[in-house]
Structure 1
Amino acid sequence: MYDCTESIYLSLMSLHEMKWTDPPAHEWFERELNVFFRQRGIGWQMAGGRVEFRGPQPLEAEISAATGMLKATSRPTAARELAESRLALSRRPNPDVTGAIQHALASLECLARDVVGDPRATLGDLIKRNPDLFPKPLDEAMHKLWGYASEFARHLREGRDPDLSEAIFIVGLAASVASFLLEREQPGLSA
């Protein structure tokens, strides 16, 4: 069904390019499809002609803000990894929950390495070696977040798969923590 809606979008876009439609039919289709998805509680949205995961509005806003801040501070790798975590949630027919968690924490680790100036340490080591990176007791929470990602997304065991809600939670946390680190590094950046 989602492939079909993407094909309709592309057809309408081609029609618009060949013969001007006002308003552009493909944009109208995308807007109306998203209204339909929201009204029906469907957790997908169309963006740029692609059907993708639609999380709660605060999550979407936080990921977008953090990705923008990462790009603005010349951290394209961390920005790409955070964007990839969201794309993993959009995998069809089933979201890639372990991929979402892996990418989210890779983004955070990449950023923390850059902030601290230690390009080889793991996030867990960075937290231990840099007690001012996070205020207490949030440093412990971050250490546990890293441990969770290691246990449930990076070093898997049979029968211990995270569910979608856990992946959404981790991706949201990673975006929020990235925003925190960037704002702390450059006060006023998020304004």
Structure 2
Amino acid sequence: LVFLCEPNNPTGQCTKHSLLTAILERCRECSALLVLDECFLEFLPDRKERTLLPYLGQYPNLVILRAFTKLYAMAGVRLGYCVCSDAKRKEQLMESGQPWGVSLLAQEAGVAALSEQAYADRVRKLVEQQRPILVKGLRQAGFTVWEGKANYLLFRSHDATLGKRMEEAGFPMRDCSNYHNLQPGDYRIAVRTEEENRGFLEALFLCQGKKQL
């Protein structure tokens, strides 16, 4: 069983499509199941070119994970799903899960979200516009930034106490020190509105005793 995130979490970086398909083919040769988490892929403008959904019919060893909770900002609803072409595997998944895995309210929220195309387009545009501004601000503050394509950014501060001070300032950050190969001082932040991002950068500079450029 092979798990991959596309885009990666927490770096937000994407895998070359040719490499993904090569991994998929290799998994079939090894009789391995490839589970591809595409929950954050909906934020990308070129999501239709990057998804492996068109490969489902050809590769019964492929399972794709999706969710409404990211793009539509309703994490508390816990509405996610998987897609595969293997009918037997689908039955096994249904049998191993809870009888009522998704509530009626979550289903109704998902149906309503599907009609919010204008909202989804605005979110994608906002992320595309604001992410470079955050990257620039973080680098001006002296941090190493992994410039991903998702609605979040990973950066390294070499200061394991920065997260606590930023939280006290009203800007909590995801401590990524528990990720494999990452370390204390590595943080992930969300790309938010222009006002929120500006406030975040101002607080970040203040926490370091620096003046924003």
Bigger share in helix:
1
**Which band: TM-score by shorter chain?**
under 0.3
TM-score by length of 2: 0.25
- TM-score w.r.t. the length of structure 1 is 0.28
Q: Flag the structure with higher strand content.
A: 2
